[in-house]
Structure 1
Amino acid sequence: MSIIVDKINYIYEQGTNLERQALKDVSFVIEKGEFIGLIGHTGSGKSTLIQHLNGLYKATSGHIYYDEQDIYDKNYNLRDLRNKVGLVFQYPEHQLFENTIFKDVCFGPKNQGLSKQECEIRAFESLRLVGLDENLYYHSPFDLSGGQKRRVAIAGVLAMQPEVLILDEPTAGLDPRGRDEIFAILKRLREEKNITIILVSHSMEDVAAHVDRIMVMDDGILKYDDTPRNIFKHYKELEKIGLAAPQVTYIMQDIKEAGFNVRTDAITIEEAKKSILETI
């Protein structure tokens, strides 16, 4: 599995007074099993970009290839693409509508034409993967907490057995425990399913701690595409486009300026702690 994005452009309201270019010659490649962080200020093009990856939006120009097939070919099956590339939106309640959690998670497989038994097997497996208490399976999804709703939304997408999982701000509004639980789920998915994950986030701490690679969007342009450590070396450039580095990066810079020989490229608390202890 690979996704190749080749010089895509997208223009909203093309030909009207409201015309605005949201994506500008964006190109990149994503390989199977990668964990990608997608960051950028509000209006940078993140959400527009991810909705191109499963065909919800069609590029004004350029091409997207999934498994070496151009998704814009007239005979390409976009429904099949959307089964393979699952998208969990920022507000999970927008994806929940059945009167029980179990029925909600069964909806995707049912829509794929699977038998009742296969739908239920997939629902049980997906709910197990996201760690939802079995006692809740037949409750209304609207009675759940924000973190639990996110788990159900993720389970509903996983039940369709996607090869790629895209999550738009999955930890927004959650307390630290809720955020940790979501990332534990994502870790389990990679270990058990080798699923490709694309995480849209405003939390620099989250992407620094969890992803393999960060893509930075700015005004519709893919400005950076590199490892977290290399991305956050450019923290001053990130500040100019409304972003920042993890707080620990700034702390280590201050400690270095105070005369201590610590690593200024530390991007997690664990790395910072280790570097500080080595100077004692």
Structure 2
Amino acid sequence: MKGILGKKVGMTQLYTDSGALLPVTVIEVQPNVVTQVFTKDKDGYDALQLGLENKKNSRQTKPEQGHFKKANTTPKRFVKEIRGMNGFELGQTVDSSIFSVGDLVDVTGTSKGKGFAGTIKRYNQAIGPKSHGGGGGSQPIRQTGSLGDISGNKVVKGMTMPGQLGNVKTTIQNLEIIKIDVKNNILVVKGSIPGPKKSYVVIKSSAKQVPSKEGVKLVNLAEAIEKNHLFEQAKKYNVELHMEMSLEEMKKIIDEAEKKAEEENK
């Protein structure tokens, strides 16, 4: 098991080299500090406690300061255990290089809170008829439908009733890692993840142990711009280039065409 803590930046789109558009989520993954190591002999299970982002001095407590001092670090704002993770020592840092492009991960966060909601929005129930009195009551169109069996003449827990929507711990499974930028502390996954922007998330290797996919090849914008420039030069020297060619092959052909043109002009 591998895992790391991060912060959701937001969603965007990326293009593959074949022209397919991918909806992706960008996650900021600053280096995590190992703040506690759990072992099977001492604690009954293997795990690492990771911490992310320093806490303000005014919000630190003395017990926290003592706990984090053992790892030679300051109290952290976001602290979580990753079960089954080992191979790191107390005080070490963990970065996004533990994952590879193509790996499938589970992302856990707190979903957006949407307040008190009715059953139409909360459980996608159908609305009532908009004519002939609807379904009765003061708001006949959007009132709660049948609740099913109410054995014991009571409404048991779990019925589809109005109530709090969102603001719960949510996990999205098997999201593919599209890009890893260790230098800029960025991890990009395909699809959406729970929570609003700037919310904390936990990224762990897939619990279903699904095999990794072959890494997606993304469009290199700088390379594409340079290739377009070389195509313009190719028109000038009347030489043929193909998109499948590498930059080095294109440059070599253009250089040869330039030399040939200079010799002819002498």
Band the TM-score falls in, shorter-chain normalisation: under 0.3
Q: Name the structure, 1 or 2, with higher relative contact order (CA <8 Å, separation 6+).
A: 2
Q: Give the TM-score normalised by structure 1.
A: 0.23
Q: Give the TM-score normalised by structure 2.
A: 0.24
Bigger CA radius of gyration:
2
